[in-house]
Structure formats: structure tokens, C-alpha cells
């Protein structure tokens, strides 16, 4: 596949995301031969990490820490294309000059060079940076990747969107939500729409509730100041978990292109009922206030559980339970469709319900938990499972890591797996009642499943953690 020459600019280049995901994403694309034949990668930020040489060493070191057995030649080539230029919202002139120099170095007409500008900066810094890009005309021939959260509430998201619309068109904007790059998430569509077995059952007649459960075992990982300004609702729920809900709940999109798929997802969010703060539980793990950069009396939530509803024909009155939190008992990413128990009474020991479970973890799986006859002389039911391993059982796979996949989509200009302005706006409307009237945060022990009130939220309990 031929991709035009690119100059890529990465704001937040010395940050955590760049080290853990973005540089490794570029490396893996290079290894798979999927990067443009010619490109330059300019890291940027307010503070210089030293000379270009020092920045390259840092990138190389970071890659050697994250990527297993990197190929020396590919690493050298990638690192040789990297440089650093300081910039800030008030002054981007040096950066603009560096971008133009890099464009001239490429073996192409400058008009044919594309720009990929990745804004991995906190929500509060985003608007100023976008205005600067516009002033410096760096938005020409550019695609802008915007990290989440998009704003901090409905009002700031709208301001941010307005400032974007002043400098670029929507088809240049790639609001990234890396959960949409996970193979298993795209598999929700394959499961539903390519198999006659599932879609007919995918509605309120058969499904009694849905759980979208993303507990994390990890704590803050040194991201105290980020968490203090965002909290789990904005970091995870109005973004990743809601996007999963969108994929689970959408109507047949008819086509798999950016327009129709995002229309279908947007229709789900439009039908979502704004959250009822009385059905939201906030938690904070014990010890959070002792973390670096966290206020002694912080009320920020590190845990959220919510009940949501999609008020359309397919899902009316089916509760969607969403849960996530830091420092919990396990790290999992699980979607469970809890199926209604058949009305028949012929089995005396028919137990519980059936669950259709999608595991989105690094080892993704789809499992149907069902009842089967225990082998033997008696008609006795036991729980059994049908299981599809989405990597081992599917031939000739070459799975891409989420960021790798999404970076490739930006290079190709494919917005299908990115979120659109109307979706984001609506999701802020849905969570705004909770931002206006937040429940009080309840302490929970590290390594637990969160506050008691959250355990009691779904009728019948959570599938994970009991």
C-alpha cells in the first residue's frame, strides 16, 4: 500500500503515553512495513529533553524497554527520523519552521507531503494548542489526532469543538479512543452481523441486562496530576466504556464505513437516557490521597459504577451496568450479555441464567455459558461453556496492537474507528447530570471490587468478582 510522505508531530512526546504506546506503535508499523516510505517524526513539548541526540537516545531506550527483541536496523532507521522542537500554545514559530524544514528534506513536492499532528496533551491545554496550529498554518494538509478526554464537560467540549472547527474540517479530526482499535471490539460487529445465531437474540426479548466491566489491577502509575483533573468517569466511562456500549447496542450499520458506522453509534448515544446520579457509585481507593500530586482532601473518583439505559425499541428497560476502577482485584475487560432464563420448567435443577461473554483482554475470547446435561444416568444439568479464542481459533491472524492499528488508520485517512463530534457531544450530555451532582466518593480497599454500594447496583450482582 502506498502512503504519501509524512511529517508527523507528536505533542506530549516526552510523556507516558508516547513512551508506552505511541513510539511502540510507530515501531511496530515500521516492523510490519506499514509506515510511509519517507517521513519525519518531530517530538514536541514545552520543555526540551536536551539535544536531538539526547531525545533520540531516550526514544531508543524507551522502545528497547517496551518492545521485545526490537530489530536493530528498523530501530536505527526509525530513530534517525526523529527530532525534537519545543513549542507552547503562545509560540509555535520554531515548531512551524522545523516542520517546513523537515518537509523540504523529503524527496517530494512539499504540496504532496501530509502532516499527522498528534495532540497527546491534557484537556486544559488542548484549545490553546489548536489555536496555535491554526495561526502557524500547521493545519494545512494535516490530520489532527486528539487524545481523550475531549474537554472536561459539555461546555468545555463544545468550546473545544468550536475552536477545532475554526481551523480544520471534521474530516481532518481523529478523536482517538484506543479501545476502538482493539481487535475484540471490532469482533463484536463480526459476531453480531456475520453469524445468524446471535443477532436475532441481541435485544430485550432475550437479553435481561448488559455488563461492561473494566476493572484495573493497576493503581495510578505516577499519573496523580492527570487523575486529579479527570477522574475515572471522564478517563474511562464517558469514553472507552461508553464506546463499547455503542458497539454492543447499535443497529445494523448496513455498511462498514466511517459514515454509516458512526451514524449507527451516534443513534445509540442519542437514545441513551442521561444518567441518574442516584444510580451512580463513586469510589476512591484507600491510599489515593497519599499518592504524589494528589490533594490531601481529594474527592476525585478512582472508581465508577453506573446504570445506563438506551431508550429505543431494541433495549428499552434493559439496564447496562458499566464499572471500572483503579487498584481493584483483577485487570479485565469484559462485556457480558445476561440472557433471560427460558420459561420451561421441565428441568428440576435448572440453575441461573446464561451469559454471553466477550473478553477483550490481550487474549480475547467469546464465551457462551450455558446449561448442559451432566454425562451419566440422570437428567442433571450443569454449567458448561462454548468458547472461541479470537486469536488461536481464527486462522492466519496478524493482530495489531490498538494504537498501532489506529495510527495506521490515521495515515490512511480512515475515520471509521474514531469518534465524531456529535457522539462526543451527546456522551457529555449523558454524563453531565453526574458532573453537576456527583455522588460522594466512598472509600474502598486496594485489591477489592470497590465499594459495597457498587456491588449491589446490578440486580443479580456482577459476573466478575461475585
* Helix or strand run (H / E) with residue 84: strand 82-86
Q: Where are the beta strands (DSSP E) in 231-361?
A: 280-285, 303-308, 320-325, 334-339, 354-359
> Which residue minimizes CB distance to ligand BG6?
235
Catalytic pick from 2, 6, 47, 240?
240
> How far, in Å, are 113, 391, 466 from residue 187 at the CA level?
34, 11, 27
Known binding positions for NADP(+): 46, 148
168, 142 in Cβ contact below 8 A?
Answer: yes
User: What is the spatial distance between Cα 429 and Cα 306, in angstroms, rounded to a whole number?
Assistant: 15
CB atoms within 10 A of CB 333: 23
Q: Count how many Cα atoms sit within 13 Å of the Cα of residue 52 in the half-sphere of its side chain.
A: 11
Strand-pairing partners, residue 375, are none
User: What is the spatial distance between Cα 182 and Cα 168, in angstroms, rounded to a whole number?
Assistant: 28
Known binding positions for substrate: 178, 182, 216, 235, 326
User: Among residues 238 and 266, whose Cβ is nearest to ligand BG6?
Assistant: 238
Position 359 contacts ligand BG6 (CB under 6 A): no
* # of chain residues touching ligand BG6 (CB under 6 A): 4
Task: Report the nearest approach of ligand BG6 to the CB of residue 361 (Å).
Answer: 8
Contact residue for ligand BG6 among 6, 81, 234, 333 (CB under 6 A): 333
Task: Report the nearest approach of ligand BG6 to the CB of residue 235 (Å).
Answer: 5
Q: What x-and-dash track marks residues 30-69 binding ligand BG6 by CB under 6 A?
A: ----------------------------------------
Pairing of strands 441-444, 280-285: parallel
User: Among residues 45 and 123, whose Cβ is nearest to ligand BG6?
Assistant: 123
Q: Is 240 a catalytic residue?
A: yes
Task: Report the nearest approach of ligand BG6 to the CB of residue 213 (Å).
Answer: 12
Known binding positions: 46, 148, 178, 182, 216, 235, 326
User: Among residues 143 and 178, whose Cβ is nearest to ligand BG6?
Assistant: 178
Phi-psi category of residue 282: left, alpha or beta, with phi > 0 → left and psi -120 to 50 → alpha = beta
Position 175 contacts ligand BG6 (CB under 6 A): no
Task: Report the nearest approach of ligand BG6 to the CB of residue 28 (Å).
Answer: 15
Alpha helices in 215-366 (DSSP H): 224-232, 242-249, 258-271
User: Among residues 28 and 333, whose Cβ is nearest to ligand BG6?
Assistant: 333
**Nearest to 369, CA basis, from 349, 387, 351:** 387
129, 89 in Cβ contact below 8 A?
Answer: yes
> How far, in Å, are 8, 35, 64, 105 from residue 82 at the CA level?
10, 14, 16, 13
User: What is the spatial distance between Cα 268 and Cα 271, in angstroms, rounded to a whole number?
Assistant: 5
Task: Report the nearest approach of ligand BG6 to the CB of residue 408 (Å).
Answer: 17
Contact residue for ligand BG6 among 136, 183, 235, 355 (CB under 6 A): 235
Task: Report the nearest approach of ligand BG6 to the CB of residue 253 (Å).
Answer: 24
User: Among residues 92 and 123, whose Cβ is nearest to ligand BG6?
Assistant: 123
Position 216 contacts ligand BG6 (CB under 6 A): yes
User: Among residues 198 and 227, whose Cβ is nearest to ligand BG6?
Assistant: 227
Q: 404: buried, middle or exposed (CB in 10 Å: 19+, 13-18, 0-12)?
A: buried
Which residues form the interface with ligand BG6 (CB under 6 A)? 178, 216, 235, 333
Catalytic residues: 240
Amino acid at each position: 500500500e502506498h502512503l504519501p510522505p509524512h511529517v508527523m508531530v507528536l505533542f506530549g512526546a516526552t510523556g507516558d503515553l508516547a513512551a508506552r504506546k505511541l513510539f511502540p506503535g510507530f515501531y511496530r508499523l515500521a516492523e510490519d512495513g506499514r509506515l510511509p516510505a519517507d517521513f519525519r517524526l518531530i517530538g514536541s513539548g514545552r520543555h526540551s529533553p536536551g539535544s536531538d541526540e539526547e531525545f533520540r537516545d531516550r526514544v531508543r531506550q524507551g522502545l528497547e524497554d517496551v518492545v521485545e527483541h526490537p530489530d536493530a536496523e528498523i530501530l536505527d532507521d526509525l530513530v534517525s527520523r526523529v527530532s525534537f522542537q519545543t513549542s507552547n500554545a503562545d509560540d509555535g514559530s520554531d515548531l512551524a519552521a522545523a516542520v517546513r524544514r523537515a518537509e523540504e528534506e523529503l524527496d517530494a513536492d512539499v504540496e504532496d507531503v501530509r502532516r499527522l499532528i498528534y495532540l497527546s496533551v491534557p484537556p486544559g491545554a488542548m484549545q490553546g494548542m489548536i489555536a496555535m496550529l491554526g495561526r502557524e498554518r500547521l493545519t494545512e494538509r494535516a490530520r489532527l489526532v486528539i487524545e481523550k478526554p475531549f474537554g472536561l464537560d459539555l461546555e468545555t467540549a463544545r468550546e473545544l469543538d468550536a475552536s477545532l472547527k475554526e481551523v480544520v474540517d471534521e474530516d481532518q479530526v481523529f478523536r482517538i479512543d484506543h479501545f476502538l482499535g482493539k481487535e475484540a471490539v471490532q469482533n463484536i460487529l463480526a459476531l453480531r452481523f456475520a453469524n445468524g445465531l446471535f443477532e436475532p437474540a441481541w435485544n430485550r426479548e432475550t437479553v435481561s441486562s448488559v455488563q461492561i466491566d473494566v476493572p484495573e489491577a493497576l493503581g495510578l502509575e505516577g499519573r496523580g496530576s492527570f487523575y486529579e483533573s479527570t477522574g475515572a468517569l471522564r478517563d474511562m466511562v464517558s469514553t472507552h466504556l461508553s464506546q463499547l456500549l455503542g458497539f454492543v447496542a447499535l443497529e445494523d450499520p448496513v455498511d462498514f464505513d466511517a459514515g454509516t458506522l458512526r451514524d449507527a453509534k451516534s443513534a445509540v448515544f442519542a437514545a441513551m437516557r442521561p444518567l441518574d446520579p442516584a444510580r451512580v457509585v463513586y469510589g476512591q481507593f484507600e491510599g489515593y490521597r497519599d499518592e504524589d500530586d494528589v490533594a490531601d482532601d481529594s474527592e476525585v473518583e478512582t472508581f465508577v459504577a453506573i446504570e445506563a439505559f438506551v431508550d429505543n425499541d431494541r433495549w428499552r428497560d434493559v439496564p447496562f451496568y458499566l464499572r471500572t476502577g483503579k487498584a481493584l482485584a483483577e485487570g479485565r475487560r469484559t462485556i457480558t450479555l445476561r440472557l433471560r432464563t427460558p420459561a420451561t420448567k421441565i428441568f428440576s435443577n435448572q440453575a441461573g441464567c446464561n451469559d454471553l461473554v466477550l473478553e477483550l483482554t490481550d487474549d480475547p475470547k467469546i464465551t457462551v455459558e450455558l446449561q448442559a446435561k451432566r454425562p451419566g444416568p440422570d437428567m442433571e444439568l450443569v454449567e458448561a461453556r462454548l468458547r472461541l479464542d479470537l486469536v488461536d481459533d481464527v486462522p492466519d491472524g496478524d493482530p495489531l496492537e490498538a494504537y498501532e492499528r489506529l495510527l495506521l488508520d490515521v495515515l490512511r485517512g480512515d475515520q471509521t474507528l474514531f469518534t465524531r463530534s456529535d457522539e462526543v457531544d451527546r456522551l457529555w450530555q449523558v454524563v453531565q447530570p453526574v458532573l453537576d451532582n456527583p455522588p460522594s466518593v466512598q472509600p474502598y480497599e486496594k485489591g477489592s471490587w470497590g465499594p459495597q454500594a457498587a456491588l449491589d447496583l446490578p440486580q443479580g450482582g456482577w459476573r466478575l468478582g461475585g
